[in-house]
């Protein structure tokens, strides 16, 4: 937990330098529950597809002059859980209010109080994700096992995709943040989270686990849920991401390869003061970092080569005796 907290604090400090003087919007893209089984069997492939389609959807709709007519930047955070720990894959996006005009001469503010129309986003998102599924199936990139084994056949997979098109896909736009300070508070809550935090665990009697959860569908009331230890572990482990998977990603004009330039331009267009960055030469001796959590390592003592040799020799002698 300490490693996670340190990583979160460092990430938030870096983001503070990138905040623009504009409202920020919070948009959530959720996959329908009919896809949950397929996603669980193909996590790496379909989580990547989810990120890709969310980014393409937001950028395509934002470029349309009917809606914004600008290039936008944002970051997305993958969450795979609901409050009861059941599988619920969705991406939270934090988006500056507006974007850079095609000729890069002005900042274009949104026409709508909710940034972009969610029904349009939902339709585009659905079309892109289903198209991506069809492409992955054609390239034989998907695994089908258990109850899904039969839809491996092209005709059944096509029928499965048609069913996906018959329903609306949920895109939820939360109220705009009041400003950069609220964005920072949000980042602390949502970015570096695991499926359940310690304070929600109520009891464990050796056989059952009781935890708190918030019932959003039932009036946003806090409730208690008790499940067997095996079921609790099953629910928790479903949310362990594939090894090396990056669950926080930046897109558009805030993508890693162009973020510094875009932030400088955005600050200029919003009449903000230029961002002063410390050069690498200002800290010629950067701290050593833990290879696991990247937290700074604290030097307890320094040993000469002779002292190190003596200690190793002394330990070897003690072990042999």
Q: What does the alpha-carbon distance between residue 78 and residue 251 come to, in Å, rounded to a whole number?
A: 14
Q: What is the pLDDT of residue 92?
A: 92
pLDDT band at 70 (very low <50, low <70, confident <90, very high): very high
pLDDT at 114 over 70: yes
Q: What does the alpha-carbon distance between residue 187 and residue 18 come to, in Å, rounded to a whole number?
A: 13
Which among 56, 175, 28, 168 has a CA at the least distance from the CA of 112?
175
pLDDT at 310 over 80: no
What is the reported pTM?
0.82
Residues in the chain: 321
Mean pLDDT, rounded, for 267-277:
87
Q: What is the pLDDT of residue 80?
A: 94
pLDDT band at 186 (very low <50, low <70, confident <90, very high): confident
What's the chain's average pLDDT? 86
Q: What is the pLDDT of residue 216?
A: 83
pLDDT at 32 over 50: yes
CB 162 within 8 A of CB 130: no
Q: What is the pLDDT of residue 313?
A: 67
pLDDT at 270 over 80: yes
Q: What does the alpha-carbon distance between residue 89 and residue 135 come to, in Å, rounded to a whole number?
A: 21
Tens digits of residue pLDDT in 117-151: 999 999 999 999 999 999 999 999 999 999 999 99
Mean pLDDT, rounded, for 221-229:
93
Residues whose CB is less than 8 angstroms from the CB of residue 215 and which lie 6 or more positions away in sequence, other chains included: 83, 221, 222, 223
pLDDT at 3 over 90: no
pLDDT band at 1 (very low <50, low <70, confident <90, very high): very low
């Amino acid at each position: 937990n300490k490693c996670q907290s340190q990583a979160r604090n460092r990430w938030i400090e870096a983001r503070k330098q990138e905040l623009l003087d504009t409202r920020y919007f919070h948009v959530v893209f959720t996959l329908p529950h009919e896809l949950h089984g397929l996603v669980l069997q193909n996590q790496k492939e379909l989580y990547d597809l989810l990120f890709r389609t969310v980014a393409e959807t937001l950028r395509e709709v934002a470029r349309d002059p009917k809606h914004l007519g600008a290039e936008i930047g944002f970051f997305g955070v993958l969450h795979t859980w609901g409050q009861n720990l059941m599988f619920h894959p969705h991406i939270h996006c934090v988006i500056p209010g507006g974007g850079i005009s095609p000729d890069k001469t002005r900042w274009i503010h949104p026409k709508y109080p909710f940034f972009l129309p969610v029904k349009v986003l939902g339709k585009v998102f659905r079309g892109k994700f289903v198209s991506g599924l069809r492409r992955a199936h054609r390239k034989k990139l998907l695994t089908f096992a258990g109850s899904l084994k039969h839809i491996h056949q092209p005709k059944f997979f096509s029928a499965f995709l048609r069913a996906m098109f018959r329903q609306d896909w949920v895109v939820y736009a939360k109220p705009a943040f009041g400003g950069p300070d609220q964005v920072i508070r949000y980042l602390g809550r949502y970015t570096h989270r695991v499926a359940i935090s310690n304070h929600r665990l109520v009891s464990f009697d050796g056989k059952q686990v009781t935890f708190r959860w918030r019932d959003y569908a039932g009036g946003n009331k806090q409730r208690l849920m008790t499940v067997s230890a095996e079921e609790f572990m099953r629910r928790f482990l479903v949310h362990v991401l594939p090894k090396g998977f990056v669950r926080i990603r930046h897109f558009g004009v805030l993508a890693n390869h162009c973020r510094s330039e875009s932030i400088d331009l955005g600050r200029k267009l919003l009449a903000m003061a230029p961002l002063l960055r410390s050069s690498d030469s200002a800290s010629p001796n950067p701290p050593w970092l833990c290879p696991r959590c990247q937290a700074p390592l604290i030097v307890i003592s320094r040993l000469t080569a002779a002292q190190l040799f003596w200690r190793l020799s002394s330990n070897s002698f003690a072990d042999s005796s």
